[in-house]
Amino acid sequence: MNMILIGPPGAGKGTLAAHVAAAWDIAHISTGEMLRAAVKRGGTAAEQAGRLMRKGLLLPDALILRIVQERLSQHDCAEGFILDGMPRTVAQAQALEAMGVSIDKAILLMVADDVVIRRMTARRICAGCGAGYNLDSMPPKKEGLCDICHEPIIARADDSPETIANRLKLYHHEAEPVIDFYRHRKMLLPIIADSTPQETAAAWHAALAAEHAADRMPH
Ligand code: AMP
């Protein structure tokens, strides 16, 4: 099962994709995570990428396609994958298609803007190991410290209120054509993602099971 995951920043894409990927035993590929790791490693190109990311701006398609193509060629993607955070533009969606990457479903997480803003303001990551937390829904056991490595947890540089507003505006502007791209190809599977990660993951599993059953019905 090859899936693309579309949803606004703060929809819980990372948490949900990790959950569903583990249940289906497929790879979870997050372009945002790969890029943050590259920025942490440093270098001139990484510095430039980091600047764009802090402003909430998209990185060049060519760079994204290069890292995704390289990642998809690794053997853990052979049984399937969830591509989280890519494609963000129609050009990226077209390029994936041109590369011969077959996609079974484009999962669309639907969340209201006010819910997204509330969630992102409460979002934290560990400065040491990068583990994700949310002060409202997934706080660490010890205030301010990572459960795993006990380093301080901090807000992501691109989760400032100003950047959140920018990223939401950009999401609506960029995502609509990508959503239409997959809707026209009858691959779109919308899922309501306003509630807890557990409930949304259950809705995702149920939607896939329903699609699977429908595919097996005689036509
Ligand atoms: P995310 O963790 O998916 O919210 O991504 C964090 C940041 O990485 C985004 O705000 C962009 O700057 C960059 N990024 C991630 N995926 C892409 C993509 N497919 N195309 C362009 N930029 C991306």
Whole-number Å distance between alpha carbons of 108 and 90: 15
Strand-pair category, 2-6 with 105-110: parallel
Q: What residue owns the CA closest to ligand 1's atom 2?
A: 32
pLDDT in tens, 121-145: 898 999 999 898 999 888 999 999 9
Of the residues 36, 105, 119, 167, only one is catalytic, namely: 167
Cβ of 23: how many Cβ atoms within 10 Å?
Answer: 12
Give the pLDDT confidence score for residue 219 in this predicted structure.
63
Give the pLDDT confidence score for residue 119 in this predicted structure.
85
Of the residues 71, 88, 119, 124, only one is catalytic, namely: 88
Whole-number Å distance between alpha carbons of 31 and 169: 20
Which residue positions in the chain have pLDDT lower than 70?
A: 219
Dihedral through CA 8, CA 122, CA 158, CA 37, nearest 10?
-90
Whole-number Å distance between alpha carbons of 5 and 24: 15
User: Is the CB of 12 within 6 Å of ligand 1?
Assistant: no
User: Is the CB of 52 within 6 Å of ligand 1?
Assistant: yes
Give the pLDDT confidence score for residue 45 in this predicted structure.
82
Give the pLDDT confidence score for residue 214 in this predicted structure.
75
User: Is the CB of 9 within 6 Å of ligand 1?
Assistant: yes
Q: Is 167 an annotated catalytic residue?
A: yes
